[in-house]
Chain A
Amino acid sequence: GAGVSQSPRYKVAKRGQDVALRCDPISGHVSLFWYQQALGQGPEFLTYFQNEAQLDKSGLPSDRFFAERPEGSVSTLKIQRTQQEDSAVYLCASSFWDRGNEQFFGPGTRLTVL
């Protein structure tokens, strides 16, 4: 079956633009996670959904970051008024249940803010 997919794979934005990053989790997976990975660093947790409910958004760096998963499947991470420090790879992961031991990661979206 298909794994986690993310689109676009690469995004270049001018500073101040809004961007939307999409994640398609594995079908049937209840939990969905977003991570941010800066160059040379490990992924950092941003937010977590269980179905359509956003249960934890403690990792979102500012109110310019917003995530949604309205129907409990596809999720979108939106970044408003992008800044250069937002440049990173944004990873999405899904798991079957909320305390499932294995998270399946997508390939990520590399965002470059000029």
Chain B
Amino acid sequence: DAKTTQPNSMESNEEEPVHLPCNHSTISGTDYIHWYRQLPSQGPEYVIHGLTSNVNNRMASLAIAEDRKSSTLILHRATLRDAAVYYCILRDGTTGNQFYFGTGTSLTVIP
């Protein structure tokens, strides 16, 4: 299973942008990049995913490096409700159904 590396923790001020990095140097051509987040005492929730091109949705943006060996989740204006553990996950697009989570990045939002 392709692995991802994320910082253990990050801090951000409220209403400022947050850039959460993820390294995945062993990514294969068929691996999708997924981001999920987990709020305290809840199950993970989907944030965004992509393959090669940058992606935007109502929650966040995903910037994927040209060589696909790294990606960055961008929260445009952090709110207190964005405080969570953010997981960067690779999923094999041809055979993979399950996700292999790492330990994620714990994001603290400072009021």
Contacts and interface: CB of A to CB of B under 8 A. Distances in A.
Contacts of B49: 101-102
Interface residues of A, number: 27
Interface in B1-56: 32, 34, 41-46, 49
Give the interface centre of B34, B87, B98, B102 by most chain A CB atoms within 10 Å.
B98
Interface residues of B, number: 22
Contact of A98 (B42, B46, B97, B101): B97
A18 interface: no
Contact of A93 (B34, B42, B43, B87): B43
Contacts of A45: 98-100
A44 B101 contact: yes
A48 B101 contact: no
B43 A101 contact: no
B43 A105 contact: yes
B43 A33 contact: no
Interface in A62-114: 91, 93, 98-99, 101-108
A104 B87 CA distance: 15
A91 B43 contact: yes
Interface of A: 4, 31, 33, 35, 40-45, 48, 50, 55-56, 59, 91, 93, 98-99, 101-108
16 contacts: A4-B43, A33-B98, A35-B101, A45-B99, A48-B98, A56-B98, A59-B98, A91-B43, A93-B43, A101-B91, A102-B49, A103-B44, A103-B46, A103-B99, A105-B45, A107-B43
